[in-house]
């Protein structure tokens, strides 16, 4: 007898009634079930709410693992173990990740940081640390790969690694300098590593040129024939726009610590670097310190700099790394990750925001002192869905006035709280949200309509010559390279408090807004708010077209509007300000009427 079984899948969306529950829709932790609260909706809205719940479930679907176009996700040994690592620790961590939900959520890179080597031998070969890795590295790398994960390795662009300057002798002579080709063959052909973090302590001591040195290393990786190795430049400052030509990510700040001031300062240093992110190329805000709670710290340093994080600070830390599209590299001992931290870092919505297919870093749309509103598109450029962060860096509570116009959205806006996985309702025009000190809220806004952006702040523009390497750090000492470069500066009277200054004097020392979007054809008034201590000339070029000369009077250092009318078609435009021969005014922003 043949028996036919029919499986009826339980619907992923269910309705329930709860008078006391504030949310319209709540999604389960794993993102597989949605619950619609009939007490928060009208009877007539039921089918629309079912559709919305289904769309929200769609957005919680697993991401593609190890996608080279999105930020790298994984774990690194440094924050917890420093150089005190071993095959047992590394493979043990990988095993835990493969069973505790981290691998499943996308954390697939297991990165070995400083300390696994023991200089180079007289034959020029990299030696492994006989105490920490008595069996060499092959077993460790194979052990990681056997779990379906990826393995990351580490070196320095100079002769010595960073830990060697802190007293770990094994890093002396372990750097790449003089060994690029052979070390890359060892790491990527023989051992099979998949990621390479290249530090700069040794190179800094040799005063090497960053662009040249990292380009040589990138070429040596290429020469191995491996096309899938992801390179991280670890130079602790935005190195220059050349980095995107050779690397998947670049560290923009000094080392992170498990403390609020460290997290706050790293965010501050990255808020205005959104223009430099593109698919496959990201600002690296450093390895995560989530899971390091105040009073319960587990790291090899445990120094005075590691005071631990509160729960609010941990959410701010992780959420900001997500919305700013930083690599997500866990640094705590994930074999014993606190359950609350595990739930946070596997939250499917926060991960999706980080791994968004557009690969953008959110930019600051509104700023009031230490209170920031950031925004980026969700999955579709210039669409009706946008991610928003309300970030309160202050030590006191702050009430945000959230205006749909500031996010280029219009009509009724449905608000989904990403951390709580809850649809909390709708607003039109403006709503107020109070955020605790050091806390942040992260939302997905779904609007009825998208409207064209009106304000383009200079701090969201691309400065072709931008770099944070200066004479006080090592490397570039060419004084004009340093002094002639444009940068973002806190300037009194500038909207958002920041302007782009020191532009011009060289063709590439320019400012470009690359994503100026207009939904209709027509005549537009472009208004540039500029400040100058003397009369100046600047050139405007749209989409690479013929430059238009703009004369700026002496504004006595105050920002004043400079108007230029132009016919523009619907679509995406590039607006460039420059002067190859002399300096141009400080630019605060461009508004489009």
Q: Which residues bind ligand GLA (CB under 6 A)?
A: 78, 113-114, 161-163, 199, 234, 236, 255
User: At closest approach, how far in Å is the CB of 177 from ligand GLA?
Assistant: 16
- CA-nearest of 289, 321, 322 to 308 is 289
Give me 521's structure tokens: 């054809």
Give me 328's structure tokens: 């997500």
Which runs of E-coded beta strand occur in 205-269?
230-233, 249-251
By C-beta, is 251 or 342 nearer to ligand GLA? 251
255 included as an active-site residue: yes
Give backbone dihedrals phi and psi of 281, rounded to 5 degrees, phi first. Answer: -140, 115
Which of the 8 DSSP states describes residue 270? Answer: H
By C-beta, is 161 or 316 nearer to ligand GLA? 161
- CA-nearest of 103, 97, 193 to 145 is 193
Determine contact, residues 590/513, Cβ cutoff 8 Å: yes
Would you give the end-to-end CA distance of the chain in angstroms?
76
By C-beta, is 284 or 465 nearer to ligand GLA? 284
**DSSP codes joined into one string, 395-447:** SS-EEEEEEGGGGTEEEEEEEEETTTTEEEEEESSEEEEEE-TT-EEEEEEEE
By C-beta, is 110 or 163 nearer to ligand GLA? 163
Q: CA 558 to CA 183: how far, in whole Å?
A: 55
User: At closest approach, how far in Å is the CB of 140 from ligand GLA?
Assistant: 18
User: At closest approach, how far in Å is the CB of 204 from ligand GLA?
Assistant: 11
By C-beta, is 87 or 113 nearer to ligand GLA? 113
Give backbone dihedrals phi and psi of 184, rounded to 5 degrees, phi first. Answer: -65, -40
Give me 62's structure tokens: 């697993």
Let me know if 369 is exposed, middle or buried by CB neighbors in 10 A (0-12, 13-18, 19+). Answer: exposed
Which runs of E-coded beta strand occur in 252-311?
282-284
The single residue of 180, 194, 199, 408 carrying the catalytic annotation is 199
User: At closest approach, how far in Å is the CB of 256 from ligand GLA?
Assistant: 8
The single residue of 255, 265, 312, 406 carrying the catalytic annotation is 255
By C-beta, is 256 or 320 nearer to ligand GLA? 256
Give me 165's structure tokens: 């300057």
By C-beta, is 127 or 564 nearer to ligand GLA? 127
By C-beta, is 229 or 375 nearer to ligand GLA? 229
Helices (H) and strands (E) in the chain, counts: 15, 32
User: At closest approach, how far in Å is the CB of 533 from ligand GLA?
Assistant: 39
199 included as an active-site residue: yes
For residue 120, what are the β-bridge partners? Answer: 126
How big is the chain, counted in residues? 593
Q: CA 554 to CA 530: how far, in whole Å?
A: 10
Residues 6+ apart with CB under 8 A from 116: 85, 128, 129, 132, 133, 137, 153, 154
User: At closest approach, how far in Å is the CB of 257 from ligand GLA?
Assistant: 11
Closest chain position to ligand GLA (CB): 162
Which runs of E-coded beta strand occur in 165-305?
195-199, 230-233, 249-251, 282-284
User: At closest approach, how far in Å is the CB of 526 from ligand GLA?
Assistant: 42
User: At closest approach, how far in Å is the CB of 318 from ligand GLA?
Assistant: 18
Determine contact, residues 420/457, Cβ cutoff 8 Å: no
By C-beta, is 78 or 391 nearer to ligand GLA? 78
Which of the 8 DSSP states describes residue 170? Answer: G
User: At closest approach, how far in Å is the CB of 477 from ligand GLA?
Assistant: 22
Q: Which residues are catalytic?
A: 199, 255
């Amino acid at each position: 007898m043949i028996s036919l079984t029919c499986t009826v899948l339980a619907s992923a969306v269910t309705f329930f009634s709860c008078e006391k529950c504030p949310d319209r829709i709540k999604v389960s932790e794993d993102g597989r079930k949605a619950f619609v609260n009939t007490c928060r909706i009208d009877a007539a809205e039921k089918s629309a709410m079912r559709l919305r719940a289904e769309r929200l479930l769609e957005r919680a679907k697993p991401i593609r693992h190890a996608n080279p176009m999105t930020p790298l996700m994984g774990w690194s040994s440094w924050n917890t173990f420093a150089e005190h690592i071993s095959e047992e620790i590394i493979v043990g961590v990988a095993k835990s990740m493969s069973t505790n939900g981290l691998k499943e959520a996308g954390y697939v890179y297991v990165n070995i940081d400083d300390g696994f080597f023991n200089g180079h031998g007289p034959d020029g070969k990299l030696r492994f640390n006989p105490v920490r890795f008595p069996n060499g590295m092959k077993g460790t790398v194979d052990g990681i790969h056997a779990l379906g994960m990826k393995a990351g390795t580490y070196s320095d662009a100079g002769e010595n690694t960073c830990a060697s300057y802190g007293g770990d002798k094994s890093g002396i002579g372990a750097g790449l300098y003089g060994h690029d080709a052979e070390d890359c063959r060892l790491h990527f052909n023989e051992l099979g590593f998949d990621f390479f973090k290249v530090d700069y302590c040794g190179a800094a001591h040799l005063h090497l040129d960053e662009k040249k040195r990292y380009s040589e290393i990138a070429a040596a990786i290429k020469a191995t024939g491996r096309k899938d190795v992801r390179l991280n430049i670890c130079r602790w400052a935005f190195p220059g726009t050349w980095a995107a030509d050779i690397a998947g990510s670049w560290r923009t700040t000094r080392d992170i610590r498990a403390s609020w001031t460290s997290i706050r300062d790293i965010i501050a240093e990255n808020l205005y670097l959104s223009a430099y992110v593109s698919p496959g190329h990201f600002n690296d805000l450093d390895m995560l310190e989530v899971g390091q709670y105040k009073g319960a710290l587990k790291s090899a340093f445990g120094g005075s700099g590691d005071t631990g994080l509160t729960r609010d600070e941990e959410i701010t830390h992780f959420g900001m790394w997500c919305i700013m599209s930083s690599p997500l590299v866990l640094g705590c001992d994930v074999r014993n990750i606190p359950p609350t931290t595990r739930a946070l870092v596997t939250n499917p919505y926060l991960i999706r925001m980080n791994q968004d297919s557009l690969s953008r870093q959110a930019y600051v749309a509104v700023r009031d002192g230490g209170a920031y509103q950031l925004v980026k598109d969700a999955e579709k450029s210039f669409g009706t869905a946008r991610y928003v962060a309300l970030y309160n860096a202050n030590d006191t509570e702050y009430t945000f006035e959230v205006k749909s116009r500031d996010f280029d959205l219009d009509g009724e806006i449905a608000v989904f709280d990403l951390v709580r996985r809850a649809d909390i309702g709708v607003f039109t025009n403006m709503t107020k949200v109070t955020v605790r000190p050091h806390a942040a809220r992260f939302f997905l806004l779904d609007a009825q309509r998208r409207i064209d952006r009106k304000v383009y702040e200079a701090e969201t523009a691309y400065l072709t010559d931008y770099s944070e390497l200066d004479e006080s750090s090592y490397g570039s000492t060419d004084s004009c390279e340093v002094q002639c470069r444009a940068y973002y500066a806190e300037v009194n009277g500038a909207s958002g408090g920041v302007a782009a200054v020191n532009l011009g004097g060289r063709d590439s020392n320019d400012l470009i807004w690359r994503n100026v979007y207009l939904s209709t054809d027509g005549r537009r008034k472009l208004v540039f708010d500029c400040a100058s201590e003397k009369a100046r000339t600047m050139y405007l070029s749209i989409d690479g077209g013929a430059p238009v000369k703009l004369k700026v009077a002496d504004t006595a250092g105050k920002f004043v509007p400079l108007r230029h009318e132009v016919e523009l078609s619907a679509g995406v435009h590039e607006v460039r300000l420059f002067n190859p021969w002399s300096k141009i005014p400080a630019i605060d922003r461009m508004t489009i009427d």
